[in-house]
Amino acid sequence: MLNSGIEVEKAYAQKVRLFLQQNGFFDGRFRVISGSEKVVFPCIDMPKKDLVALKKLHSSVKKISVGFSGRPRKPRNMKQALFGKLSEKELSFVPSAFDSLGNVAIIEVPKELKGKEKLLGEALLEVHSSFASVYLKTGAHQGIFREEPVKLVAGKRKKFAIYKEHGCTFHISIGKVFFSPRLSTERKRISGKIKKGEHVAALFAGVGPFPIVFAKNSKMEKAIAIELNPQAVKDMEENVLLNKVSGKVEPVLGDVKKLAEKYAGKFDRAVMPLPKGGENFLQDAIKFIKPSGGIVHYYQFTSRKDPYTIPLQQIKSACSSLGKKFRVVEKRKVREFAPDIIQIVIDFRVQ
Ligand SMILES: C[S@@+](CC[C@H](N)C(=O)[O-])C[C@H]1O[C@@H](n2cnc3c(N)ncnc32)[C@H](O)[C@@H]1O
């Protein structure tokens, strides 16, 4: 098979290589041919104006078609893997970020690349051999269970993703439960704050990442992990066994609101990672805390310009309705969400 190459006298090879690399024309999938007098660089097709600029580097620069010997090199990123398969304009829209759930990748594809999802998925598999499948995110998290709708675009169809984090392994039912690797830093951060012997209420627990990471990375006594989605609870039960934390994490299928009375006043700490609508559960979460006091970790999506005013008002109003006092211990940005929206967390002590 013939591919495009740029031939040049050896003395000018370095200049040409730099030009090709800096302008994104170097086709890193193939090996450079180095003769005694000339060098041929593999390249992708470039606009005429760039070829003219390249030829100005030295009179020996020539575009040729050549069969590059040896096996093609593994592409280093999606763009490289897609050289020659997408136009130059399309290549500029290829995403560089994606979510990795262990052996499964979840990609988002911009509208400019609609119809090219399979190509992108295959490119990702070519670059990252650790992935068995690539799923396309087909919409935002939806419904009360906050599942992420996805569609297989490349590789093998899998029921579960197997994801590892902070010494724990998680089975995650693809497309049927909420899971976000982007909260990993939060799980470790809170683990570092939990004191020996604490009882933790892990609310909105999903497949169990918060309580299971706590069990493995802190000296807590026990967590109850409340979750409404039956499939997530099934996954969580499996994850509790998988991580050998049966005595420490108790999955409970149910509604945080309904269970707040049953578990009232029993916990040193409550974690409530339900950013959308979390304000409707603030009073319930506070009820879990011991009368002697404890910490609530409250997550919200808020405005980038003024992230804390509204969530602090929500905390104040929930505490005063229950006749409780509170003190903010820490407030921080968790992650970017949309151009004008960020996710934040406020840790407050309530008594
Ligand atoms: C944003 S997800 C967080 C899941 C998990 N903590 C994680 O980080 O992967 C919110 C979870 O809360 C659950 N949920 C929603 N409303 C609930 C309720 N009233 N009681 C218990 N769980 C609820 C959803 O099913 C979903 O799994």
pLDDT digits (tens, 9 = 90+) for 145-179: 788 889 999 999 988 999 999 999 999 999 999 99
One-character DSSP codes across 166-184: TTEEEEEETTTS---GGGH
Of 158, 187, 214, the residue at which a domain comes to its end is 158
Q: What is the pLDDT of residue 97?
A: 86
Work out how many domains the chain is built from and give that number. Answer: 3
Q: Does pLDDT of 69 surpass 80?
A: no
CATH number for position 53? 3.30.70.2580
* Secondary structure of residue 285 in the 3-state scheme: helix
Same domain, 305 and 240: yes
Q: Which residue's alpha carbon is at the smallest distance from atom 19 of ligand 1?
A: 255
Q: Which amino acid is at 216?
A: K
In a domain, 11, yes or no: yes
- Which amino acid would we find at residue 350? V
C-alpha pair distances (Å), 136 with each of 3, 82, 105, 150: 31, 17, 8, 5
Is residue 192 domain-resident? Answer: yes
- Is 73 within a domain? no
Q: Are residues 194 and 325 in the same domain?
A: yes
Q: Looking at the predicted structure, is the pLDDT value of residue 143 above 90?
A: no
Assigned domain for 168 exists: no
- The DSSP secondary-structure symbol of 279 reads G
Mean pLDDT of 36-47: 90
Whether 212 and 297 share a structural domain:
yes
Task: Find the Cα–Cα–Cα–Cα dihedral 125, 129, 133, 135, rounded to 10°.
Answer: -50
Is there a domain that residue 167 lies in?
Answer: no
| 255 alpha carbon – ligand 1 mean position (Å) | 9
Q: Which domain holds residue 10?
A: 3-66
In the numeric block, which tokens belong to residue 224?
């109850």
Look up tokens 């967390």; give the residue: 345
CA dihedral defined by 252, 183, 185, 96, rounded to 10 degrees? Answer: 150
State which ligand 1 atom lies nearest to the alpha carbon of 275: 1
State how far Cα 240 lies from the chain centre: 22
The pLDDT value recorded for residue 71 is 62
Tell me: the pLDDT tens digits for 187-243?
Answer: 999 999 999 999 999 999 999 999 999 999 999 999 999 999 999 999 999 999 999
How many Cβ atoms are within 10 Å of 208's Cβ, its own excluded? 32
Query: What separation in Å is there between the alpha carbon of 344 and the centre of ligand 1?
Result: 17
Has residue 91 been placed in a domain? Answer: yes
Let me know whether 84 and 137 are in one domain.
yes
CB of 39 sitting under 6 A from ligand 1: no
